[in-house]
Amino acid sequence: MQLGVILGTWNGSQADAAAMLRVVQEAESSGYAIAWVPELYGADAVSLMSWLASHTSRIRIGSAVMQIPARAPTTTAMTAASLAALYGDRIVLGLGVSGPQVSVGWYGVPWSDPIGRTREYLETVRLALSGQRVTYDGQHVQLPSEGYRPLKLVLKNEAHIPIYLAAIGPRNIRLAAEVADGWLPALVYPERFDESRKLFCDAVTAAGRSREDVTIAASTGAVLNDDLAAARDVYRPYVTLLIGGMGTREQNFYRNLVTGYGYGEVANRITELYLAGDVKQAQALTPDELIDNVGLIGDEARMRDRLAAYAAADIDIFSIAPSGRSLDEKLHVVRTVASAAS
Instruction: Give CA separation, 29 vs 34, 55, 87, 259, 264, in Å.
Output: 12, 13, 18, 39, 42
> Which pLDDT value is given to residue 154?
96
Instruction: Convert the pLDDT of each residue in 252-266 to its tens digit.
Output: 889 999 999 999 999
Taking 90 as the threshold, does the pLDDT of residue 100 lie above it? no
Average pLDDT over residues 87-101: 94
DSSP state of 221: E
**Proportion of the chain above pLDDT 70, given as a percent:** 100
Taking 90 as the threshold, does the pLDDT of residue 54 lie above it? yes
Instruction: Convert the pLDDT of each residue in 134-165 to its tens digit.
Output: 999 999 999 999 999 999 999 987 889 999 99
Instruction: Convert the pLDDT of each residue in 215-239 to its tens digit.
Output: 999 999 999 999 999 999 999 999 9
> Which pLDDT value is given to residue 83?
97
Evaluate whether 92 touches 60 at the Cβ level (below 8 Å): yes
Is residue 294 very low, low, confident or very high in pLDDT (cuts 50, 70, 90)?
Answer: very high
Q: Are strands 215-224 and 142-143 parallel, antiparallel or unpaired?
A: unpaired
State pTM to two decimals: 0.96
DSSP 253-280: HHHHHHIIIIIHHHHHHHHHHHHTT-HH
> Which pLDDT value is given to residue 256?
94
Helices of type H across 30-134: 45-54, 73-87, 100-105, 114-129
Cα separation, 40 vs 1, whole angstroms: 28
Taking 90 as the threshold, does the pLDDT of residue 33 lie above it? yes
Is residue 19 very low, low, confident or very high in pLDDT (cuts 50, 70, 90)?
Answer: very high
CA 224 to chain centre: 22
Which of 129, 190, 182 has its CA nearest to residue 155?
Answer: 129
> Which pLDDT value is given to residue 143?
97
Cα separation, 40 vs 53, whole angstroms: 20
Taking 90 as the threshold, does the pLDDT of residue 173 lie above it? yes
DSSP 73-101: HHHHHHHHHHHHHHHGGGEEEEEE---HH
